[in-house]
Amino acid sequence: MRNEKPRRFGKSSVVAKAVKQSGREYITLNLQKVTSVSEMSAKLLREFFRIHPLERVRHLITHFRIIPTISTNPLTGMMDVSFQPDADGTVIMEDVFTLMENAYTENNRLIVVLDEFQEIRDIAPKLDKQLRSIMQEQKHINYILLGSQESMMTDIFENKKSPFYHFGELMRLSKLPRDDFHRYLSERLAHCFPNNSDILSDRILDYTNCHPYYSQQLASVVWQIGILQPDVEDPFVEAIEHIVMSHGLDYERLWMNLNRTNKWILQRLASGQPLQTGYYPTSTVYSALKRLQKDGYVIYSDRYEIEDPFYRQWIRKGV
């Protein structure tokens, strides 16, 4: 199964809850935290030991062509797994995936969740091809592949030249239904704002465009203001100013790392001004938007927009 949506849309939380409710054994790995094929394999093996005591699968380890170093933290009881830095990553990966396959049956399959799956192209050359060749032969594992970079995930699974072309079932996670989200926020804000919780919920969702993470973040600060500062005239505006100010240094660092073209585009998007002005060639604008989308600054639904509404507000206020 493939799932794609921009960051903080709740895809990881939804999948985590779903696999828990399935009652089946599962392991999860975030590929953004991986820097090599060997490290990816070691972390998968460590997760495998989380649900399978080493004593029960020791016989499977003996078939490894490259034996891992396994140690146990005496304080936490957690296992640590590592391989020699110069070991062949492909061989290690094949052995780890074979071990997971052999530990299960067709009637009792393991679920493997690979989050931020688009990172496989940066971890190592041809890793996508190697991984596909392993996965397609397996019958005892179900894979859930998540990604937050929609354009990259689309290229991985919809490009005919990609090894993962049409691999599995594609699911696009949409924004939460506004009515349901509004009801959820209104019921919880009513404790602090019994007379205008509906209005506040509407303002929050209008501002965040129903983005799950940013909506909950803004609602949380509005709620805190209602509890701690009940005399504030407009808790909605106060909450936005508080969030923007608290992230000011982070936003400044992000801004300083952008080139002049990207800054210009973000300023136009933040103010709602058109991008096709002749100031930059269309090809330059399009290429910059794709880079900003890849880096997580911009998302596209029916139009390009800055993903973080508070960063958008920070840009509007001037830099």
Q: Give residue 288's pLDDT band: very low, low, confident or very high (50, 70, 90).
A: very high
Position 63 scores a pLDDT of 84
The CATH number of the domain covering residues in 248-316: 1.10.10.10
217 CB-near residues (< 8 Å, 6+ apart): 243
DSSP code for 319 = -
Q: Which fold would CATH assign to domain 2-172?
A: Rossmann fold (3.40.50)
Residue with tokens 């199964």: 1
pLDDT surpasses 70 at 28: yes
| Nearest in space to 83 (alpha carbons), one of 91, 157, 75 | 91
Q: Where are the domains of the chain?
A: 2-172, 178-246, 248-316
Confidence of residue 182 (pLDDT cuts 50, 70, 90): very high
DSSP per-residue string spanning 230-278: TT-S-HHHHHHHHHHHHTHHHHHHHHHTS-HHHHHHHHHHHHT--S-SS
In tens, the pLDDT along 192-211 reads: 999 999 999 999 999 998 88
- Sequence-distant (6+) residues with CB within 8 A of 27 are 44, 47, 48, 50, 51, 100, 110, 111, 112, 113
Question: Could you tell me where the DSSP H helices lie in the chain?
Answer: 11-22, 37-51, 54-61, 89-102, 120-123, 127-135, 150-158, 178-189, 197-208, 212-228, 235-246, 248-256, 260-271, 282-294, 309-316
State the Cα–Cα distance between residues 235 and 246, nearest whole angstrom.
16
- Per-residue confidence at 7, pLDDT binned at 50, 70, 90? low
Query: Chain-wide mean pLDDT for the chain?
Result: 89
Cα–Cα distance between 179 and 112 in angstroms, integer?
Answer: 33
